[in-house]
Structure 1
Amino acid sequence: MSRIVLFNKPYGVICQFSPDGKHPTLKDYIPIPGIYPAGRLDTDSEGLLILTDDGALQHRLAHPSRKLPKTYWVQVEGIPDSAALQALQGGVNLGDFVTLPAQARSISEPVGLWTRNPPIRERRNIPTSWIELVLKEGKNRQVRRMTAKVGYPTLRLIRSQIGLSTLAALMPGEYRAATAAEVATLI
């Protein structure tokens, strides 16, 4: 039976177990030998990361052809208008590729959201707001590039869900075993 672990990756943590000398790594939070991340989150992104000891499953979950929906809470600079949300929904031309259509909607700040350390930059005359973005692909820095392209730079990025697996009550740095239902949807 494969071990599958869900982890709430804090800001500033690198998605690897080997030390890099500058940032904390997964090894600083997860004392389980033999598991590896199935996919990545940038060092400056937070949220749900799936780890497993099953190499084939790890490859399937991380492979772009799998198209498992991933939900992100994105704090952006400004208040996106309907044209920006429609652009995100229709696919955004990022120059080197056009994103697949996504689900995008304005949301309130997520309930129970933890404070980020360090806090995001605040500008006195520019408000911030939140978008929920659901993607079926995950290229390097894609969410940040998408929101910037439609005129609303990302200030904070949190992956809240992969398939049916969610952060639930996991606080940054916490992990838990996947439930039987989560395992069934991932396998």
Structure 2
Amino acid sequence: MTTILFNKPFGVLSQFTDKGTEGSPRPTLSNYIDLPGVYAAGRLDRDSEGLMVLTSDGKLQAKIAHPKYKAPKTYLAQVEGAITDDALALLRQGITLKDGPTKPAKARAIPAPTIWDRDPPIRVRKSVPDSWLELTLTEGRNRQVRRMTAHVGFPTLRLIRVQIGDWHLDDMQPGQWRALR
């Protein structure tokens, strides 16, 4: 059994092939990982960064990806605007999105983390501040963090997953991976 942790860079698809475009293919996991038989346990959007688990163990893959197991996933989100206590309270109690209510999230404002620069950088507007949140969810709907922060009035500018269950991104740089023992 092989299980690895991978720091997915911005702009990379969380799959091994790109079947979506004609012409120049977009970068995929195969640009970084050359291990036969491992598959992504869950996904990250192309414009999100951070921790992915890839494994050859189908049961482990299901345990990480399937909502019924409620594996907590922690994200750092840079949002547009100075986050308010009211917005954090809404995220903590759960909000109703178009596809139904979310479960309560752990949410807190944090100082700007010391992390790698994104390529390309986020758009910055001098007249609008930004702030950082740490969010932990136990469900994984499509673009959920982005939809939740937008719903409370603070659109996400940058999103980095830093933890899945007990696994942490630690000091891995974008594009790096390490095998678990």
How many residues were matched structurally?
177
Aligned to 2:65: 62
Aligned to 1:50: 53
Distance of 2:155 and 2:164 partners within structure 1: 23
Q: How does 1:6-21 map to 2 (within 5 A)?
A: 6-20=5-19, 21=24
Unaligned runs of 5+ in 2: none
Aligned to 1:124: 126
Deviating more after overlay: 158-167 vs 51-60: 51-60
Aligned to 2:36: 33
**Deviation of the 1:22 alpha carbon:** 3.1
Q: TM-score, normalised by structure 2?
A: 0.95
Distance of 1:155 and 1:85 partners within structure 2: 17
Aligned to 2:3: 4
Q: TM-score, normalised by structure 1?
A: 0.92
Distance of 2:18 and 2:147 partners within structure 1: 28
- Report the secondary structure of 2:131's partner residue: strand
Distance of 1:64 and 1:157 partners within structure 2: 20
Which amino acid letter does the alignment assign opposite residue 29 of structure 1? Y
- Report the secondary structure of 1:158's partner residue: strand
- Report the secondary structure of 1:88's partner residue: helix
- The answer to whether residue 163 in structure 2 is matched with residue 164 in structure 1 is no
Which amino acid letter does the alignment assign opposite residue 71 of structure 1? T
Name which of 48, 54, 75 aligns with 2:78: 75
Which amino acid letter does the alignment assign opposite residue 2 of structure 2? R
Distance of 2:66 and 2:54 partners within structure 1: 14
Aligned to 1:185: none
Distance of 2:128 and 2:166 partners within structure 1: 35
Name which of 97, 105, 108 aligns with 1:105: 108
Moved over 4 A (4+): none
Unaligned runs of 5+ in 1: 180-187
Which amino acid letter does the alignment assign opposite residue 59 of structure 2? A
